[in-house]
Chains A and B, each alone.
Chain A
Amino acid sequence: MLNCYDATRLMSEKLDRPLGRLEKLNLRLHLFICKSCGHFDDHMQHLRLLTRSYAKGQGAAAVPPPDESESNVP
């Protein structure tokens, strides 16, 4: 039976390679009984999406430029 540390390792590696059948089975069994690791699994997905948003310049969208260009056309 996996402990939580090993489960988090598999949940991380899942983002980089397809897990083997036994790994998948062990992980599923662990997630079935461990709510905390279930949250961790969700967080890994969120972390990937957030990081890729950042890499598309979302963080830049967070700093809005002073938007005066629309009102005064020279």
Chain B
Amino acid sequence: MTDTPSAPEAASPAADRLSDPAFITALRRQMLKFATLQLSNPELAEDAVQEALIGAMKNAHSFAGQAAFKTWVFAILKNKIADTLRQRQRLVEASSLLHADEEDEDFTELFATHGHWQYDERPQAWGDPEGAVHNQHFWRVFEACLDHLPGQQARLFMMREFVEMETPEICRTLDITVSNLNVSLHRARLRLRECLEDRWFLSGEQAC
């Protein structure tokens, strides 16, 4: 009884669903988007996604379902991205210098001269941030807001919040000062917060 090749009960439905091409296609698309945002290089992103998927597939049988598999595969992808970012530190450093000017912006649109919120830019209470997690329209808005960040801000924000690198490691990897990093993260968060508020939380929380 040990060598039943296709015992109908033992073949887990999870494994079936993981070999479902539609699931893998959708997952792959999402991973690619995720990796491209962070590496801003389609080829490196493609490589990272490919390696993560292959790595995850080896253990696919041990997952109880698509959700668990997805979490696992994204964890692997995050590690691949962190490795890639560390490897090409010099490259990033060089390109970040090119973009330094574009990011030397002021925030007078948000703040008046004395540093208080402009009247119509004051942050408002958000409706249902937990509910947004399960809304596909929200994630489209989220990605659009990320796309609007200037390059270097986006990269630093993602190293900190997606890849969850601690600030000393980011500073070491990119050879920037902690005050530069703090300024960039602050700006990225100001922009993202405003974008999400304008385009989602105060606009009825649905795609129009």
Given contacts A4-B117, A8-B190, contact A58 B139 (CB under 8 A): yes
Is A49 part of the binding interface, using a Cβ–Cβ cutoff of 8 Å? yes
CB-defined contacts of B132 to chain A, threshold 8 Å: 50
Interface size of B in residues (CB-CB distance below 8 Å)? 60
CB-defined contacts of B174 to chain A, threshold 8 Å: none
Q: A70: nearest residue on chain B (CB-CB)?
A: B13
Bound CA span A59–B162, Å: 13
Q: Which A residues between 48 and 74 are near B, CB-CB below 8 angstroms? A: 48-66, 68-70, 73
Is A5 part of the binding interface, using a Cβ–Cβ cutoff of 8 Å? yes
CB–CB A3/B129 < 8 A: no
Main secondary structure of the interface of A (DSSP, over half): helix
Interface size of A in residues (CB-CB distance below 8 Å)? 43
CB–CB A55/B126 < 8 A: no
Question: Binary interface profile of B, 1-45, with partner A (CB < 8 Å = 1, else 0)?
Answer: 000000000000100110010110111011101100000000000
Chain A residues in the interface with B (C-beta under 8 A): 3-6, 8-9, 12-13, 15-17, 36-37, 39-40, 42-44, 46-66, 68-70, 73
